[in-house]
Structures are given as structure tokens and as C-alpha cells.
Amino acid sequence: MISVMKQRLMVRAFTKTLTLIPLYRPSRTAFCTASSSFAIKNVTKSNFDSSLADLRRHVRDSDFVAIDLEMTGVTSSPWRESFEFDRFDVRYLKVKDSAEKFAVVQFGVCPFRWDPTKQSFIAHPHNFYIFPRQEVGADDSSYEFLCQTSSIDFLAKYQFDFNMCVKEGISYLSRAQEADVRLQLHSSHEYEPLDSQVTSKDIKDVPLVRMADILFVERMRNKISDWHDDLLQIRNGGSQRTPEDSNVSVNQFQTIFFKTRPAIKLDAFTSRQLRLIKSVVEKSFNDLAYIRVSDGSCFQQIIVYTDSRLDRDLLMKEVKESHLKEAEMKIEAAIGFRHVIDLLSSEQKLIVGHNCFLDIAHICRKFVGPLPSSLEEYVPLVQNTFPFIIDTKILLNANNILQLKMKKSSTSLAKAFAILCPHIASGVGSFGSALNSSVAVEVQVDDMRSSNWNSGAKHEAGYDAFMTGCIFAQSCNHLGIDFTSHSMLTKQDKLQHYINHLYLSWSSGDIVDLKTGQTRTESSALNSYKTQQPKILFPNIVIIWGFLSKLKAREIKESLTKVFGLTSVTSIFHLDKTAVFVQFSKPELVSDFLKLKSEMEKKKNDAIYVLHPFSDLLEGGLTGAACYEVYKEICESPVSKVLFADQAEAVCVNSEAKVLRSMAHKTDSFADSESAIDSKTAETSGEILGLVSC
């Protein structure tokens, strides 16, 4: 599962499994039945429709659905990783940035259904390859995505098939994109009658400048008129021409019937010639209509004979309607993978993920619409899409029984799977030696079934979703949830405390409740060691960047304490090598510092300032500093420079640089307004938050 924030962790987990596999493979092959080695269900463009039909049935019957996503990256720059000094709103902005920039390339969906007769779960793991290919619409920029080199390398390490993804991946439209495309379609059709009215005026605009054009137009006029006269003669029962004659005159025209009317197909003309023909038809023939019909994949131009003006209008209307219908069908087809999300959403099943806040953000961004700018607005969006989400990582960390089972080991997906579901992980099967408390999971792929299936393809979305589901099923069993009772899992009292609670950031233990939108920090034993650390008070924090690289936290602290006193600096934390957070002991010191800094910058040539303790900090003249709210703004920016100092400069110079700088100048009033802005968050979060100082 790539969405685990720390990639290093995942790699470590991988090396462990690598060494483990050879150890237990002999035993597994010994127990394996032939059926257990079948492949996971891979779904691509070619088998999507049929798979979707099956999936609908499986999801409808399921008790819960486990999901997992593989993305092209996690953080768009190193400083966008999760930090101790990130407030809840900043954490959300970082997740939002990730969901906006990176693409989802694989989507695992695994419905689990309890079979009371077999006393076992039936799982249907699906592994969807998806790719943001643009199928409809004109605007390409929204489809562009970012790749984090290390993540791509990571996917490659697990044999991810990039060719399959790009060539065969299923495309999709979000609900918002669909609405846009439909709007475009309908507005263009609304204006079309207008255009046809002004065509007579437009014809003048088609310039007949070239001699060749004039000749061509004359020739076409004659040919069409011949064909037209022929038609009338036949109709009036007049004498027919000899076949040879008609062949000569109409050799480039092929007479066909279009909606019971005689018509000519225009083949082998250039687009300019077609435009000229169109103008000739519209100018010189009242009973002929020039229309464009789509012939499966390509467009075909035809000229149709109509009996009357009324008939012509009728024909045009018919043609327009069929165009509209076709476009609608194209849009319907372009929705693609979103049908799966719509299915999960409409069935209101319990969605199970492992550390899935980022996954859910990706789903909302890719399949619903643009993400709102704040966590408060985002939470109802999630609730509307998925009313019940459970995060197995929360479950494992928050529940005492499960923590005991986990023996306080890492709650990474692979590790948790190996500990909680050894009977599945090892492929031995739940019979015989397995403990009574283990839940049996039977896997079904198409017509093949196995009670000890294990593809072992870790970091493949479909298999990861399967593991997540198994962990959840096993956890429910440990919690004493009775699957056989007819009550739904979403109504289970024992789960109520965990449903819709997600880790905003796993490393800091920040949890968001999707029902209420409230945030809190986990107070489990895991995080207890942090309580001795100084608390993070956001109004006391100043962010400094762009100083010379030789300056380390110690030097910065020294120069600050020389001015503001020994106890003035509570902690210093490096974002990257170009920037630090400094927490002062009092919020006033933030404004004092910013004021002093801007004063010194104004008089930087004065001799006394060379001896000032800040001179080291300001050396080079590129040092910038700002309060915490500016940090939030920098995180909000769509720009992603690798180094924080470059990012801060780009954001500040380009957008509201003047505003920010002047904020730094008007320090007194600004300090007040600051505390007013974030008093709510500061009170709720700042007080509780623990901190690791450097």
C-alpha cells in the first residue's frame, strides 16, 4: 500500500517479506491445492464491462468492501511530507496537494461476503488498472499528473506493469468533469441553430481567393446540379439517362439513401474542399442539406435531398438529435471506472481501507470533483460519497484486544496480515493446525474458488485490498462480532467507535472524525512518550528560510537567544536544509522577531548591524521569515519546488508577496489578528499536541 506515508517503512517491510518467503514456500506448495494458484482478477479496458456486471452483484451481496490504491507518488516535494509542526489544517492541505497532483494507476476492490453455510467469508479480489486518459472534452490540462521518481521506482520493484496501465488502463470522468462535459455539449448544441441561421452571412466569409477554389466550386455546382436534376427526372418518371452518362458525371458521388431520402456520400475530399461544397450546397440548392453523420469512429459528409423546407428542417433536427445521443453515449462510456465508485457509494457498504485518508482523498478528487480548501468542507463531501469507512490501522492501534494480538509490533499492512491472518498469509489454510479463533476466507475469481488462496503480490492494489479485508474480518472476530447474526456490520456497537475515524497523519496520531469533522490526537500508549516534550503552540511559531546552508539549528538558536534571552526559544525543527520552524516561548516574540528582522534588512549597511547576532542569520540577503499562517499559505500553493526556500520565494514573490511582507511590518495588529484567526484550532489542537524538539 503506497499510501502509507513513510515509504522507507514500506521498503523495510518488503525486505522482511523477501527474506521470509523462501522460508515458508516449501510448506505452502506442499499444502497447495491446484486451484489455489490462480491469478487475481485483473480488470482493464477490454474486460471492464463484463467485470463491472459481476462486481455489481458481488458488492450488493457483500458485508463490506475492502479497497486499496496505488499512486504515482505521495509527496510533490520533500517538505510536503508530514511534520510534527503541522497543524490539522496544514495536514489536510498536504494530503489535498498529493491527491491533486498524483495519478491513481491501480485500484483494488475486494467485496467480502459471509457465507453462513460454509462459516467462511467469500472474497472477490479485483485489480483494476486505471489511467487518466482523456476520452471526451477539449481541455487537456486537468489530466496532467505528477510522478514521484522514487514511487515509480518502488512500483517497478514490485513488477508493476506500466504498459498495461497506459495502454489498457480504464479511463474515468469525475462527477464534476462529467457535468462540465455535458454543459459544454448542451451549450454547443444550443448555439447550433443560431449558427445555421447566420450561415448565409458566413458564406461570404469563405474566401474564394484562389483560382483553383473558384474552378472547384463551379465544377461542384454543376455536378451537384446534374445529380439533383437526375433525381427529379427519375422522380417525375421522366426519361432516364444511360448508366454510362451518369457514371461519368457522378463518378465521385455515390448515391445512397439516408433516412429514406436520396443522398450523396462525399468521399475523398480535403477538408477545405468539403467546406467549399458546404457553402455551395447551402447557397445554391434549397432542397439539399449538407450534413455530417458519424459512422462509428469517423465522420462522413453527405448531401441529402429533401422534399420541402419542412422536410429539411425535420431532417436537420433528426441529425442533431442523433449527434446529441451519440455524444451522450460517448460521455457515458468515458465515465469508465467511476461506475465502480458510484456503485460503492450507492450501495452504502462499509468501506475498509488501511491508513486510507489519502486513498479517500484521491477517490474524492478523481471521481467526485475538486477538493475543497479546508478540512471542514471536505468532511461532508466524504460522508456523502461513503457514509461508512473503517480504517484497519486505527482499529489495530486503538483497540486494546487487538493491540495485544499484535504484540505491539508494526501495524504496516503486510506485518498486520502476517500476524493476524497467519493461516492465509502462509497459505496453509484454516483447517487442521489453525487456531479456532481464525476466520476462514475463501477467494473466488471468476469460476475458480480456493480456501487457501494467496497470490502474494504485495503492493498490487487488488491483493492489498484483499489483505486489508482479511485483517478487518479477523479483527472483528477478535472483537467478538458475530457475523452470522443478521445485523449489519455498520450497525455493530463494537465498531461504532472506529467507523469514520481516519488518521489524518499516522506518524503524529492525528485523527479526524468524518461524522463531526472534529480532530483529535490519539492518546494511546504508542504516543505516550511524546507527552514529556514541549507543546506546540502555533501562534508562537515563526518559520525562517533561505539562510546559508552552513547554519544549523544550534547556530540559529544561539543567535536568537542572544537577542531574546536564553529561554526565549522553545524548540527548533528543520523542514529541510533550507528552512526551520522556531517556536518561541511567547507569541509576542514572533512579531518582535519579524519586526527586528525587517528593520535590519532596511539598514543592512550600517556598521552596528554587522556585529548584531542576527547578521549570521541574514547573511546572503535571501533570508525570509514569516508567521505560521504564511506557512499554511505556502502549503496551499499549487507550486512544488524541491527546496522550501525556493517554494517560499516563489509563492511570496508571485502572489500576495506585498501583503505578506506588509503583514510582517505591521506586526502589532497582525499578532492580534493571528490569534483571532486560529484561536479555535490552537486551543483544541495546540494544547494537546506533543512535540519532538530537535
Closer CB to other proteins, 64 or 128, in the complex? 128
228 touches 288 (CB < 8 A): yes
Choice between 455 and 685, CB closer to other proteins: 455
Strands 120-123 and 104-115, bridge-based pairing: antiparallel
Give the torsion sign (CA, 475, 479, 482, 487): negative
CB closer to other proteins, 151 vs 570: 151
Region of 569 (left: φ > 0; alpha: ψ -120 to 50; beta: rest) is beta
Q: Which is nearer to other proteins, 134 or 615 (CB)?
A: 134
- Nearest approach in angstroms of CB 181 to other proteins is 14
Task: Give min distance, CB of 140 to other proteins, in A.
Answer: 6
| Least gap, CB of 443 to other proteins (angstroms) | 15
Q: How far is the CB of 494 from other proteins (least distance, A)?
A: 36
Contacts of 273 (CB under 8 A, 6+ apart): 216
CB burial class (10 A; 0-12, 13-18, 19+) of residue 337?
buried
By beta-carbon proximity to other proteins, the closer residue of 121 and 463 is: 463
Cβ proximity to other proteins: between 163 and 400 the closer is: 163
CA distances from 646 to 535, 577, 654, 659, 661 (A): 29, 12, 12, 19, 16
Q: Is 86 exposed, middle or buried (0-12, 13-18, 19+ CB in 10 A)?
A: buried
**Cβ distance to other proteins smaller for residue 26 or 237:** 26
- Cα-Cα-Cα-Cα dihedral of 269, 273, 279, 284, to 10°? -70
- The distance of closest approach from Cβ of residue 150 to other proteins in the complex, given in angstroms and rounded to an integer, is 6
Q: Which is nearer to other proteins, 380 or 456 (CB)?
A: 456
Q: What is the nearest approach in angstroms of other proteins to the Cβ of residue 186?
A: 12
DSSP 426-493: SS--SSTTS-TTPPPEEEEETTEEESS-----TT-HHHHHHHHHHHHHHHHHHTT--SSSSS-GGG-H
Is 142 or 410 the residue whose CB approaches other proteins more closely?
A: 142
What's the distance, CA 624 to chain centroid?
Answer: 33
Q: Which is nearer to other proteins, 104 or 344 (CB)?
A: 104
Nearer to other proteins, 168 or 311 (CB): 168
The grid cell for 69 is 490504491
> CB of 577: closest distance to other proteins in angstroms?
8
Is residue 660 within 8 Å of residue 397, measured between CB atoms?
no
Q: What is the nearest approach in angstroms of other proteins to the Cβ of residue 131?
A: 7
Q: Which residues of 23-61 are buried (b: 16+ CB within 10 A; e: fewer)?
A: eeeeebeeebeeebebebbbbbbeebeebbeebeebbee
Nearer to other proteins, 134 or 477 (CB): 134
Burial category of 260 from C-beta neighbours within 10 Å (exposed 0-12, middle 13-18, buried 19 and up): exposed
Buried b / exposed e along 485-495 (16+ C-beta atoms within 10 A): eeeebbebeeb
Instruction: Name the β-bridge partners of 253.
Output: 266
Q: Shortest Cβ distance from residue 551 to other proteins (Å)?
A: 11
If you count them, how many residues does the chain have? 694
Which of 202, 687 has the CB closer to other proteins? 202
Give the gyration radius of the chain's Cα atoms.
33
Strand order in the sheet with 541-545: 569-576, 579-584, 541-545, 624-627
Q: How near is the Cβ of 166 to other proteins at its closest, in Å?
A: 5
Q: CB 143 → other proteins: shortest distance, Å?
A: 5
Per CB under 8 A, residues contacting other proteins are 21, 25, 37, 39, 42, 72-73, 76-78, 103, 131-134, 138, 140-150, 152-153, 156, 158-159, 161-168, 187-188, 455-458, 549-550, 637-640, 642, 650, 653-658
Q: Which of 442, 604, 533, 461 is nearest to 108 (CA)?
A: 461
Which residue type is seen at 204? K
**Greatest CA separation for the chain:** 113
Find the helix or strand (DSSP H, E) in which 169 lies: none
Residue closer to other proteins (CB basis): 80 or 423: 80
Q: Least separation, in Å, of the C-beta of 31 and other proteins?
A: 14
Which of these, 635, 672, 665, 663, lies nearest to 650 by C-alpha position? 635
Nearer to other proteins, 516 or 549 (CB): 549
As measured in angstroms, the least distance from the Cβ of 132 to other proteins is 5
Helix (H) or strand (E) holding 267: none
Give dist(CA 613, CA 608) in Å, integer.
Answer: 10
Q: How far is the CB of 470 from other proteins (least distance, A)?
A: 18
Strands 519-521 and 261-266: unpaired
Q: Which is nearer to other proteins, 131 or 564 (CB)?
A: 131
Question: Which conformational region is residue 240 in: left (phi greater than 0), alpha (psi within -120 to 50 degrees), or beta?
Answer: beta
**CB 634 to other proteins: min, Å:** 13
